[in-house]
A and B are shown apart, each in its own frame.
Chain A
Amino acid sequence: MHTPKNSIRVGTGAGFSDDRIEPAVDLAERGALDYLVFECLAERTIARENLTRLKDPERGYTPYLVERFQAVLPACVRNGVRIVTNMGAANPLGAARAVRREAKALGIADLPVAVVTGDDVADIVRKNPQLPLMENGTPVESLLPHMASANVYLGADVIRDGLATGAPVVMTGRVSDPSLFLGTMLHGLGWSYDDYAKLATGTLAGHLMECAAQVTGGCFIDPGKKDCDDPVNIGFPYADIRADGHLTLGKLEDSGGRLDVMTCTEQILYEMHDPTSYITPDCILDITDVEFAQESKHRVRVTGAKARPRTPTYKVVVGYHDGYIGEGEVGYAGPNALARAKLAEKIVRERLRARGFTYPEIRVDYIGMSSLHGMGVSGKGRPEPYEVRLRIAARSPDRKAALAVGFEVRTLHVNGPSGGGGGSNAIREVLAVKSILIPRALVKTAVTVEGTL
């Protein structure tokens, strides 16, 4: 029988699908954690993984799943650290089976994995074509012929239910990022799903930790201006949460990076719009009264989170096929480099036009001058760079037209201005996303366990 504790420690194991692996192993080994949470799903990951699953029904989970579990499972099993993750992507059941296979190879004969399903609502969306897109208000119907995925952001209640099975691992598809963390608190501290003061604190903790190193010195350093210790070995964060809602963030003493009021302030506003209304499936978080206080070098106390009741809807991310993007690059250096790059651009545009290709959008970058903030900013009274790399990219519903972009840049080597070097070209299929809201009552979730408890 599960008894809630007075305090739990929750660590972050990954902040995105391709995140570093060593800091998670470090936390699992030395962090004295109760839970380790891996957030690995970007908006379009599930759409992409649905395509993988069509080719191989066993797959469709995030690419580094096996490597991550291989690295952290021994320490997690040894130290009793339970794992929560959305690495299941388009196939949580397949992911659970892959984890169990990996566990067996590591000598763990039967690792039970709780599997959360019900986030895939493609069938429900097809039956409700009138639902308006949040982006522009038009019905979702127009996307249906090209739809690759439709998944709701589930809340912390499914994580709580997964943990209640007793399985050491909870595997999900789409769950809102902070909810992955809040769910461990609902279960571990016995919090009520209607206690909004607690939901506020847990959601804020999750929001601060969901991007892993971004709160511990990652995405922060500006040499000479904002430095941190040992940037090579930036550690991931953990949180100590008490049943009464007392929250402290921490990182391991000898890990690299920094955790302080500055890193926390940057991260609390990351991907935040209106600070009074950060909407998750669990609550509407208000951070306007939040304050951070340094407790010791590696610990920050967090207070002041508030929340209003959750909305009656779930947000759905609809992934759909939206044509192709083709691109090519070539570099020029030395005297008159920019003029040669500009001539190259003109030649490519005219050759594409002569072949009969037109594009809804063509983008030209002079890398080193205008690829990030535009020529209007960087060209203003600043000297021309010694070298410049031309990049041309265009979108098209037609694969041939997209391919032609890189082709015409590539052929500049022999057929373009003098001294063009280091050409490259690529094409990719575009999986775009849009959002809708659906009533909660339409969504049916389930928790099953693979293995024997």
Chain B
Amino acid sequence: MSIKVYELGHARAGDKGNTSNVSVTAYSDEAWRILRSQLTAERVMQAYAEIAKGPVTRYELPKLKALNFVIENALGGGVTVSLAQDMHGKSLSFLMLDVELNG
């Protein structure tokens, strides 16, 4: 049965230059188990393929039950030169939450 990341955790996106970072924090131990095993850097790269060139690096923070994804070449050259309306990529957290996992 498929489940969206939205049901498992909450997310926030930040920017530095042309790199976006999106954190995902699990709501529960069970959600953390699913996120940790299934929300891989490869899965995230696939979800962001239209927006970012990558690469994507994943960091684990077990004490916070959180994953931190660093997505490079994601912000149209960076806040100061981007032609995008969301030049900071603030909305990119909800692209992460829309990703479907197997549950």
Interface residues in chain A, defined as those with a beta carbon under 8 Å from any beta carbon in chain B: 42-44, 135, 219-220, 222, 225-226, 262, 265-275, 287-292, 304, 322, 325, 327, 361-363, 365, 367, 371-377, 391, 393-395, 430-433, 435
Contact = CB atoms under 8 A, between A and B. Distances in A.
A275 B78 contact: no
The 6 closest A-B pairs by CB, nearest first: A269-B23, A271-B14, A363-B83, A376-B50, A374-B50, A266-B12
Judged by DSSP, the binding face of B is: mixed
A273 B23 CA distance: 10
A325 B82 CA distance: 9
Main secondary structure of the interface of A (DSSP, over half): mixed
Contact of A433 (B57, B63, B78, B95): B78
Interface of B: 6, 10-12, 14-19, 21, 23, 25, 49-51, 57, 59, 61, 63-64, 66, 68, 70, 76, 78-81, 83-86, 90-92, 95, 98
B63 A271 contact: no
Contacts, number: 115
A270 B92 CA distance: 13
A358 B76 CA distance: 19
A265 B91 contact: no
Contacts of B16: 271, 273
A194 to B, nearest CB: 27
A169 B100 CA distance: 51
B21 A271 contact: yes
A113 B98 CA distance: 50
Contacts of A376: 49-50
A365 to B, nearest CB: 7
Contacts of A435: 17
B25 A265 contact: yes
A272 B14 contact: yes
